[in-house]
Amino acid sequence: MTQTRIPLLEGKVVLVSGVGPGLGRSLAVRSALAGARVVLAARTQSRLDAVAGEVCDLGGEAVVVTADLTDDASVGNLAAKAYDAFGRLDSVIHNAFVQPARIRLLDAEPDDVRQGLEINLMAALNLTRELVPALVESQGSVVMINSMVLRNQLPGFGAYRVMKAGLLALARSLSVELGPQGVRVNSVAPGYIWADSVKSWFDRQAAERGVDPSVVYDEIAAGIDLRRLPEPDDIANTAVFLASEFARAITGQCVDVNCGHTHH
C-alpha cells in the first residue's frame, strides 16, 4: 500500500500496544502517516526501535516504551510515559495478544487459558484504566483489535474465541462507562491477515498436502467476497479512522475488516 499522507490524526498522540513486525507495525506507521505522534509499546526493544525508525524516516515522531502488559507496575509506567512523552494522549490502540494452541477448548489446560486471558483481555482493561484521565482530558478514543473468530466456526480456536468475545464485551462495557465522559471505545475484527504468521500457516498446510502455497490461498480466497485476504494496512486504516474525528459519533461498535469473509 502506498505511503500516502491523509491527516486524519493531525496533532493527535496515539499509543499503540503490542508493536511487532506485522499489524503492530502497520498501526504505528499508518497512525504516523495520518499525522499522529506515536508512542510504541511492546516487550521487545529491537522491534520497537525498528518500527520507531521507520516512523521517523517518514518524518514522524515516535517514542518507545518497553512494557509487560501483564505486570501492573509496568502498565502504570507505560501510561505515565505515554502521557509525558508529548504532554497529551488522544487514542490508544490495543493490539497486544497471544495466540493459544489450536486445540479443542475441552482439551486446553486451564492455566494456559488463564494466562491467555491476562494478555488478550485483562491487559486492555488495565492499560485503559490507567489512561482514563488522559483520554478524558483529550476527549479521546480507544480501539481494540479483535478477530473474526467472533463470527466463524473454525475448530481449534475455542480458547481464543472465548478471549476475544471477552474483549468485545469489554469494549462495549467501556463505551457505556466512558461515553458520558466523552471517550469513544470501538473494536476492529480482522479476518486472516496476509502477513508473516498466516503466510507461515499456509506454507505448512501446503507442505503437508504437497501443493504450492498459492493453492491454499486461492482456496481460502474463493470463499471471500473480494477474493483476497486483507493486509495489515487494511486493518490499520480502519483503526486510524475510528481513532479520528471522522468517527466522532461512533462508539460501542465492532467493524469487521475481512474482505467479506464473514458478514455481520
61-86 residue pLDDT tens: 999 999 999 999 999 999 999 999 99
The ranges assigned to domains in the chain are 13-193+231-257, 194-229
More confident residue, 199 or 264: 199
Nearest alpha carbon to residue 94 among 63, 71, 134, 122:
122
- Give Cα 69 to chain centroid, integer Å: 14
pLDDT at 4: 72
Rounded to the nearest integer, the mean pLDDT of the chain is 95
Tell which CATH classification among 1.10.10.10, 3.90.700.10, 3.30.70.20, 3.40.50.720 matches the domain 13-193+231-257: 3.40.50.720
Instruction: Cite the beta strand spans of 2-129 per DSSP E.
Output: 13-17, 37-42, 62-66, 91-94
User: Which residue among 83, 160, 192, 217 is the active-site one?
Assistant: 160
Is 83 noted as a catalytic residue in this protein?
Answer: no
Q: What pTM was computed for the model?
A: 0.95
N-to-C CA span, the chain: 26
Q: Are 62 and 33 in contact (CB under 8 A)?
A: no
pLDDT at 6: 82
81-129 residue pLDDT tens: 999 999 999 999 999 999 888 899 999 999 989 999 999 999 999 999 9
What dihedral do alpha carbons 116, 118, 123, 129 form, nearest 10°? 150
Percent of the residues in the chain that have a pLDDT greater than 70, as a whole number: 99
φ, ψ for residue 32, nearest 5 deg: -65, -40
19-32 residue pLDDT tens: 988 999 999 999 99
Nearest alpha carbon to residue 155 among 101, 192, 215:
101
The one-letter amino acid code at 91 reads S
